[in-house]
Amino acid sequence: MTTDNLNPHLTDGFHLVIDALKANDLNTIFGLVGIPITDLCRLAQAEGMHFIGFRHEQNAGNAAAISGYMTQKPGICLTVSAPGFLNGLTALANATVNCFPMILISGSSEREIVDLQQGDYEEMDQLNAAKPYCKAAYRINKAEDIGIGIARAIRAAVSGRPGGVYLDLPAQLLSQTITAEHGKKSIVRVVDPVPRQIPAQDAVKRAMDILKGAKRPLILLGKGAAYAQADADIRALVEQSGIPYLPMSMAKGLLPDNHPQSASAARSYVLAEADVVLLIGARLNWLLAHGKGKTWGKEPKRFIQIDISPTEVDSNVAIEAPVIGDIGSCVNALLADIASLPKPSAEWIGAIAERKEKNMKKMGLTLDEAPSPMHFHSALRVIRDVIKKNPDVNLVNEGANTLDYCRAIVDMYKPRKRFDSGTWGIMGIGMGYAIGAAVTSGLPVVAVEGDSAFGFSGMEVETICRYKLPITVVVFNNNGVYRGTDVNPTGHHHAAPTVFVKNARYDKMIEAFGGKGYHVTSTDQLEAALTEAIAAGKPALINAVIDETAGTESGRLTNLNPAAGATKKA
């Protein structure tokens, strides 16, 4: 290791990067070694940081991103140059889109060769490649600037609307030396990295006036609300106002999903019928049908929006009362005058209760079936029951049908415990989020994965076994994407585009690395396996056989998927 032989009066780029991260309580690096950052990874570990090494940078980046979401501190991902950087870039872009704070730090090749395009090893202008996909991008060229460069990256990631930051470290920088004293003075500890942003009083009053005039009010909680860690105040606002609420997917558990004011089981009804909607850290993007159209009913809505980002307002529909600030401060300001708010009418609350009961009864019948092989509902009923008994479990979820049904069926009881495909509806976050959540929380993780979704990051089961993490992966195996029944219409032996090897045994994958594999075909077996695996707290993978005819095309996103049949008919 080159850095061990350093003159005690000198320091170098390697040490300064570690010192700057540690000075800001950033003690975990998710990454993958190689030129020119291998020694940086070794040194980080030698200096007491946690280094979690992955098999692909995208998964390391996703782990960093989810850790940022859980802690309000930027998750750190460290990669090699060009290809490693590009692999990490997907995660950086996904973090930015989801408003998760992370810093992707990549080593890069020599500037003078890259800039003249003379063909260096892994040559690439990474800084400019990163710029369109992140909130901010910086390069540090001098060792004495490492302290300020990392401070800048931290602030950019966590202040205001959080997001991904790229930090470019040329190989030369890491071996540059300066005096130890100069180095020490150059380290910056960021003061108040997430400054509170207090909303204006007139904006709060405008919002309260609209709420007071509401006949059928609704609160919509997004993952921004979960991120903000203002759990007690948000709960107080919901409970003291008496207004029914809907959690977006990752806001599930911010209040327990079995809360009497949750309108989840009457989602379509309340979206269509509400007259005033208070958005708290939720965007009116595709996940909310852009705030208009059939989903939102006939009458135009009056929207109040709490958000940290002023440009989010009016992004899709007119917002009558924007309240701009951090969610904690905004909710607090609304709470100050909450006693003056009339309670929602018994008529509105009663109509929602009636819908909820009807829908839950109908759903209950399907949930209680126990076919073998299982269908999505019966398998998720088991997951729902086991999570209820283990409310501290972190739940990771991706897939098509597996995602859509799990979101609707599996209740969460605590904030920031559900991590899923998020704003992009991305596949491939599974093992990265699972590892990030396990490392960050020290608590068990259950990753409910469609068989296709699992494939994007499946090799990380080795990482899970290597670090002995308390992760149980449940693969919903229905032999393909959406379903496993398509055939090649030409009769050629090549499989249809949507299908995989029949009856695959994903459980054997984890056994190759010393983890525990389970193969289950019934609800009883699934319940026993999952209960045992969570209690054991060790790496496990359950291959849960799902009826290959059970899934629907694109899950619940059928409307977004243009079908060839439609053009033929036209």
Token representation of residue 30 = 């998710």
Contact of residue 481 among ligand ADP, Mg ion, none (CB under 5-8 Å per partner type): none
Residue 199 interacts with ligand ADP (CB under 6 A): yes or no:
no
Residue 251 interacts with ligand ADP (CB under 6 A): yes or no:
yes
Size of the site for ligand ADP (CB under 6 A): 24
> Is the CA virtual torsion 396, 399, 404, 406 positive or negative?
negative
Q: Which stretch binds ligand ADP (CB under 6 A): 218-226, 453-461, 489-497, 511-519?
A: 218-226
Contact of residue 247 among Mg ion, ligand ADP, none (CB under 5-8 Å per partner type): none
Pairing of strands 445-450, 394-398: parallel
Token representation of residue 402 = 């597996």
Cβ proximity to Mg ion, 97 vs 129, nearer residue:
97
Cα 199–Cα 202–Cα 206 angle in degrees, nearest 5: 105
Q: Which of 489, 491, 473 is nearest to 533 (CA)?
A: 473
Contact of residue 305 among Mg ion, ligand ADP, none (CB under 5-8 Å per partner type): none
Bond into 415 cis (ω within 30): no
Cβ proximity to ligand ADP, 23 vs 287, nearer residue:
287
Read off the DSSP letter of residue 166.
E
Cβ proximity to ligand ADP, 413 vs 476, nearer residue:
413
3-state secondary structure of 465: helix
Cβ proximity to ligand ADP, 65 vs 465, nearer residue:
65
Residue 301 interacts with Mg ion (CB under 5 A): yes or no:
no
Cβ proximity to Mg ion, 287 vs 351, nearer residue:
287
Amino acid at the residue 500: F
Q: What is the DSSP string of 231-273?
A: HHHHHHHHHHHT--EEE-GGGTTSS-TT-TTB-GGGHHHHHHH
Residue 263 interacts with ligand ADP (CB under 6 A): yes or no:
no
Read off the DSSP letter of residue 101.
-
Per-residue contact flags (x/-) with ligand ADP for residues 50 to 89, judged by CB under 6 A = ----------------------------------------
Contact of residue 65 among Mg ion, ligand ADP, none (CB under 5-8 Å per partner type): none
Per-residue contact flags (x/-) with ligand ADP for residues 294 to 313, judged by CB under 6 A = -------------xxx--x-
Smallest distance from ligand ADP to CB 225, Å:
7
Catalogue the E-assigned strands of 101-216: 102-108, 136-139, 164-170, 177-179
The footprint of ligand ADP on residues 133-172 (CB under 6 A) is 161-162
CA 182 centroid distance within chain: 39
**Are 439 and 50 within 8 A, CB to CB?**
yes
- H or E element: which one contains 32? none
Token representation of residue 397 = 């979820």
The footprint of Mg ion on residues 269-298 (CB under 5 A) is 283, 287
Could you identify the residue written with the tokens 């190989």? 171
Residue 287 interacts with ligand ADP (CB under 6 A): yes or no:
yes
Cβ proximity to ligand ADP, 150 vs 282, nearer residue:
282
Residue 253 interacts with ligand ADP (CB under 6 A): yes or no:
no
Name the residues that contact ligand ADP, by CB under 6 A: 98-99, 161-162, 222-224, 227-228, 248, 250-251, 281-283, 285, 287, 307-309, 312, 326-327, 423
